[in-house]
Amino acid sequence: RFIAKPCALGLKVQANGPQKAQPNAILEKVFTAITKHPDEKRLEGLSKQLDWDVRSIQRWFRQRRNQEKPSTLRKFCESMWRFTFYLYIFTYGVRFLKKTPWLWNTRQCWNGYPYQPLMPDLHYYYMVELSFYWSLMFSQFIDIKRKDFGIMFAHHIIAVTLISFSYVTNLARVGTLILCLHDVADIVLEAAKMANYCKYQKLSDLLFITFAIVFIVSRLGIFPLWILNTTFFELYEALGNFPAFWVLNVMLVILQVLHCCWSYLIIRTAYKAIVKGKVAKDDRSDIESSSDEEETVSRSKTPHSTIATNGTGDANGTNGYLTGGTCSEEH
């Protein structure tokens, strides 16, 4: 409110939200009490009742749905907050870890376990990260809705459980390595979003490609070769088999599966960027619900020369999308 918003307005970020639908008591009642996506039969009934054509009613429902979406200003402020946190906590983590022996030799994570002292810096690092992931798990229900909501929700549960479990069982040394490794890619991602909201498209594209490289290298390369190697093999060699060994590794494997899912989405987006020449959207973390854009509009009784999937019959569509094409919103 006091930092991000003035920065956004100074960078000419659009403060207004989507266009609001014109007030209509009948349609509003249908929208709030019955359905936000009326079928063909209901559309025809409303058309006769209001003496509107079907396309106008479809357009009203689309505008009403979009009306609940957040403005670019709100999205910029959310990204700036996360960028600030990730940058701070990653910097803190690097400064802390470079003084520790287990950063350079992961076998030191298990030296003297479980009688390892809990240093104040490590305790602070853990508490701040745990607090942040708790906040994400609750705030995602009121934050911007995204396509990967389910994956993100699972990730937050795993993150909170993993941080809490590793802290309670004193497996915090390897936990600090995992936390630091996960924060680095998110810094670049949030920076790419902010550049996109400011309409610095070339900078946004460059940052997104950088994010894709950093994410894949850190999550599909360093994480299994560095983290999973020490938790599976070095831990077993040092301490043998014990219950916490299996709990820790099961959660880390689930986390790696989520990494693979996100990597697929990122690679797909990067491929589209190379083919089309620019990054249209990021499927991993900044795509809002696509139900509106993927809606298939039924043909009305009035003949039209062209029927568009977004419910418009003009050459370019009344909402600025090409007729017959798939609607995509730039984020």
CA–CA dist 129, 271 (Å, integer):
33
- Residue 18 confidence (pLDDT): 67
Structure tokens at 24: 């209509």
* b/e code 51-77 from CB counts within 10 Å (16+ = b): ebebbebbbbbbbbbbeebbbbbbbbb
Q: What's CA 305's distance to the chain center, in Å? A: 39
CA–CA dist 193, 201 (Å, integer):
10
Rounded to 5 degrees, φ, ψ at 41 are -65, -45
Topology classification of domain 19-68: Arc Repressor Mutant, subunit A (1.10.10)
Q: What's CA 303's distance to the chain center, in Å? A: 41
Sign of torsion, CA 272 273 278 281?
Answer: positive
Q: At what angle do helices 120-139 and 72-97 cross, to 10 degrees?
A: 160
Q: 3-state DSSP call for residue 211?
A: helix
What does the radius of gyration of the chain's CA atoms come to, in whole angstroms? 24
The label of the residue with tokens 């479809």 reads 58
DSSP 8-state symbol, 322: P
Residues with Cβ within 8 Å of 311's Cβ and at least 6 positions away in sequence, in order, are 55, 58, 59, 62, 295, 297
Kindly report, as residue ranges, where domains of CATH 1.10.10.60 are found in the chain: 19-68
- Residue 88 confidence (pLDDT): 97
Structural contact between residues 148 and 285, judged by C-beta atoms closer than 8 angstroms: yes
Rounded to 5 degrees, φ, ψ at 117 are -65, 145
Please report which helix (H) or strand (E) contains residue 298, including its range. none
Structural contact between residues 193 and 202, judged by C-beta atoms closer than 8 angstroms: no
- Residue 24 confidence (pLDDT): 84
- Residue 144 confidence (pLDDT): 64
Structural contact between residues 325 and 69, judged by C-beta atoms closer than 8 angstroms: no
- Residue 118 confidence (pLDDT): 92
Among 108, 50, 98, CA closest to 230 = 108
Q: What is the pTM of this model?
A: 0.73
Residue-level pLDDT, tens digit, the chain, 331 residues = 889 989 888 888 877 766 777 888 888 888 888 888 888 888 888 888 888 888 888 888 888 887 777 788 888 999 999 999 999 999 999 999 999 999 999 999 999 999 999 999 999 999 999 999 999 888 877 766 666 677 788 888 989 999 999 999 999 999 999 999 999 999 999 999 999 999 998 999 899 999 999 999 999 999 999 999 999 999 999 999 999 999 999 999 999 999 999 899 899 888 887 777 655 454 444 434 434 443 433 433 443 333 333 333 333 333 333 333 333 333 3
- Residue 169 confidence (pLDDT): 95
From residue 30, how far is each of 24, 42, 51, 57, 68 by CA, in Å?
10, 10, 16, 11, 16
Structure tokens at 103: 């950063």
Sign of torsion, CA 47 48 49 53?
Answer: positive
